[in-house]
Amino acid sequence: MREITTTALGATGAYWLPSTAKRTDKDFDVIPQGGTLLFQGDSITDAGRDRNEEGPNTGLGGGYTFLATAQLIKALAARNISCYNRGISGNKVFQLSDRWQEDALSLAPDLLSILIGVNDYWHTLNEYDGTVEVYERDFRELLGRTKEQLPEVTLVIGEPFVVLEGSSVSGEQWMPDFRAYQKAARGIAREFDAGFIPYQSVFDEASNEVAPTYWTADGVHPTLAGSQLMAEAWLQTVNRM
Amino acid sequence: MREITTTALGATGAYWLPSTAKRTDKDFDVIPQGGTLLFQGDSITDAGRDRNEEGPNTGLGGGYTFLATAQLIKALAARNISCYNRGISGNKVFQLSDRWQEDALSLAPDLLSILIGVNDYWHTLNEYDGTVEVYERDFRELLGRTKEQLPEVTLVIGEPFVVLEGSSVSGEQWMPDFRAYQKAARGIAREFDAGFIPYQSVFDEASNEVAPTYWTADGVHPTLAGSQLMAEAWLQTVNRM
């Protein structure tokens, strides 16, 4: 697992302002010339994407995928990369598995980014009878299958997160149970030498600056500011891999 | 007029990567605590915004307004700003005038950004009988009326632009006539001490790096990469005012 510390991320101190420093070939060196990037996940990734647009670089929705892609394709224009969003609202990890051939493997991504897990926990508060062991097992199986078919793929895993205070989902009541899902995602990232984005710390630190509801409306789905927060953390993680 | 040079902008060299430098109170000092920002213009500003969302910071469409807002509200979280998009596709400057009370003055923006003019020229190639003198007169009247009602407002004017080569609108045939509209916008920015974003140079320089069609599909409407290019130029201009 290649993780950057939240201090290095500087979640709240981080600043969008473009550096005047000249870009070098070392930036984003996990993204090759003509590379294909795929964003996978649930509603946070989906973010209202246009199902009629197959892409690349269009129909990306209004979330972190759109924002990160915009910044990437502008900064790396000469690399001519193709970014796809195949997130689907409500998905749990087993639902990614069900559509993995069509919605992931067939696109043959050079970089595959996955953010999954919040529903694997959240839905257990209602009718879903999955457990963290099921989540971990299915996630490992999914990545094993991916690596088998795409041995050169670069993996990026986002930590599932919840805003703890002041949210309508009452995030603080999710703990410590939800921590087990976060720990599982982190462990799997280590196991598969994936980039790992510690979104929980990113949101927790940002929530020290302003009210948590500034970053997510309900504790799970980011606002526009929260989406930009995620996009910057994503970009910084991938840039340093 | 407060204009930054395109060299300072570094249109193609500019780079999204957040600086780790600590933000200071001097950044974006034209944007006050609790400030209201309004983006006005035509289809480039509109960018498919959601007419059912009154905002702020929602329903902003998928163009430079959305991208600049995302970066601003994340970077300036503690300032708790409100951004609105009231661009309408196809508008010429006289159409802004028609809806100015409701769609601009009544929002009492602290910062008002206007990008208008491409249709004022483009439509003359078909049925519209306006001239550059009409554009200039109407634009001046619009800003005079604005300053009268909102004397403290900070104005930002974007240069209307067209991609010259390889576009379906055949931008090179627009010159030199279209240059007169650009010159008028620049002159008005000077007259009203507005920030001015030299989008034509921004797109021209970016088009030296990769094909012009990478930045706009048809010569007028930016792609996602072109929208990010605009957002960065906008942010850098406003940051330096």
pLDDT in tens, chain B (241 residues): 665 544 333 333 333 334 434 455 568 999 999 999 999 999 999 999 999 999 899 999 999 999 999 999 999 999 999 999 999 999 999 999 999 999 999 999 999 999 999 999 999 998 999 999 999 999 999 999 999 999 999 999 999 999 977 777 777 789 999 999 999 999 999 999 999 999 999 999 999 999 999 999 899 999 999 999 999 999 999 999 9
Instruction: Give the integer Cα–Cα distance in Å for A54 and A60.
Output: 9
Residues 6+ apart with CB under 8 A from B27: A17, B75, B76, B239
Q: What is the pLDDT of residues A97-133, one digit of tens each?
A: 999 999 999 999 999 999 999 999 999 998 999 999 9
Query: Among B13, B18, B80, whose Cβ lies nearest the Cβ of A16?
Result: B18
Whether A225 sits inside 8 A of B58 (CB atoms) is: no
Spatial separation of the C-alpha atoms in residues A87 and A99, rounded to whole Å: 11
Residues A18, B236: C-beta atoms closer than 8 Å: yes
Question: With an 8 Å Cβ cutoff, are A17 and B19 in contact?
Answer: yes
Strand order in the sheet with B154-158: B2-3, B195-197, B154-158, B111-115, B36-41, B82-85
Answer yes or no: is pLDDT of A45 > 80.
yes
DSSP B19: B
Contacting residues of B for A20, CB less than 8 Å apart: 10, 13-15
Contact B71/A16, CB-based, under 8 Å? yes
Report DSSP state, residue A241.
-
Question: For chain A, what are the domain ranges?
Answer: 2-8+32-43+89-239
- Interface probe for A, chosen from B9, B16, B73 (most Cβ of A below 10 Å), is B16
Q: How far from A41 is each of A2, A28, A120, A184, A215, CA to CA, in Å?
A: 20, 22, 12, 16, 19
Tell me how close the Cα of A234 comes to any Cα of chain B, in angstroms: 11
Which amino acids of A are annotated catalytic? 43, 218, 221
| Residue A26: band (very low, low, confident or very high) from pLDDT cuts 50, 70, 90 | low
Percent above pLDDT 90 for chain A: 82
Residues of chain B contacting residue A10, judged by C-beta atoms under 8 Å apart: 18, 20
**B2-7+33-239: CATH number:** 3.40.50.1110
First to last CA, chain A: 10
The residue whose two tokens read 């034209």 is B30
Give the nearest chain B residue to A224 (CA atoms): B70
> Residue A14 — very low, low, confident or very high, per pLDDT cuts 50/70/90?
very low
Q: Which pLDDT belongs to residue B26?
A: 62
Nearest CA in chain A to B55: A224
Q: What is the pLDDT of residues B63-100, one digit of tens each?
A: 999 999 999 999 999 999 999 999 999 999 999 999 99
CB pairs under 8 A between A and B: 123
B56: amino acid identity, one letter: P
Strand B36-41 with B82-85, pairing: parallel
CA dist B231 and B191 (Å) reads: 24
Helices (H), chain B: 6-9, 43-46, 64-75, 93-98, 100-103, 118-122, 132-149, 177-191, 199-209, 224-239
**Mean pLDDT across chain A, nearest whole number?**
90
* DSSP conformation letters of A127-188: T----HHHHHHHHHHHHHHHHHH-TTPEEEEEPP----SS-TT-GGGGTTHHHHHHHHHHHH
The catalytic residue positions of B are 43, 218, 221
Q: Say which of B27, B58, B228 has its CB closest to residue A74.
A: B228
Task: Report the alpha-carbon distance of residue B90 to residue B41 in Å, rounded.
Answer: 9
The DSSP secondary structure of B35-79, one letter per residue, reads -EEEEEESHHHHTT--TT---SSSS--SSHHHHHHHHHHHHTGGG
**A207/A213 Cα distance (integer angstroms):** 8
| Burial (0-12, 13-18, 19+ Cβ within 10 Å), A90 | exposed
The tokens for A82 are 């193709």
How many percent of chain A have pLDDT more than 70?
Answer: 89
Question: B114: which residues sit within 8 A by CB, 6+ positions away?
Answer: B40, B41, B96, B155, B156, B157, B158
Q: CATH fold of A2-8+32-43+89-239, please?
A: Rossmann fold (3.40.50)
Determine the Cα–Cα distance for residues B202 and B48; give it in Å rounded to an integer. Answer: 23
Nearest-neighbour CA in chain A from B50: distance (Å): 12
Among chain B, residues having any CB pair with chain A shorter than 8 Å are 10, 12-23, 27, 57-58, 60, 62, 66-67, 69-71, 73-75, 77-78, 80, 206, 209-210, 214, 223-225, 227-229, 231-232, 235-236, 239
| ipTM score assigned to the predicted complex | 0.90
Give the model's pLDDT for residue A166.
Answer: 72
The tokens 């994340």 sit on which residue? B74
Q: Distance (Å, rounded) from C-alpha A158 to C-alpha A115?
A: 5
The number of angstroms, rounded, from the C-alpha of A183 to the middle of its chain's C-alpha atoms is: 15
A12 pLDDT above the threshold of 90: no
**Cβ-proximal residues to A219 (8 Å cutoff; 6+ apart), any chain:** A162, A163, A164, A167, A168, A169, A170, A171, A212
Residue A11 pLDDT > 90: no
B35 close to B212: Cβ distance less than 8 angstroms: no
Model confidence pLDDT, tens digit, residues A75-85:
999 999 999 99
Q: Could you tell me if A58 and A14 are in contact, meaning their C-beta atoms sit under 8 angstroms apart?
A: no
Q: How confident is the model at residue A186 (pLDDT cuts 50, 70, 90)?
A: very high
CB nearest A19 (choices: B17, B70, B231): B17
CA distance B191 to chain A (A): 29
Q: How far is CA A20 from CA A134, A146, B51, B202, in A?
A: 47, 38, 37, 15
Flag if B16 and A15 touch (Cβ within 8 Å).
Answer: no
Higher-confidence residue of A217 and B195: namely B195
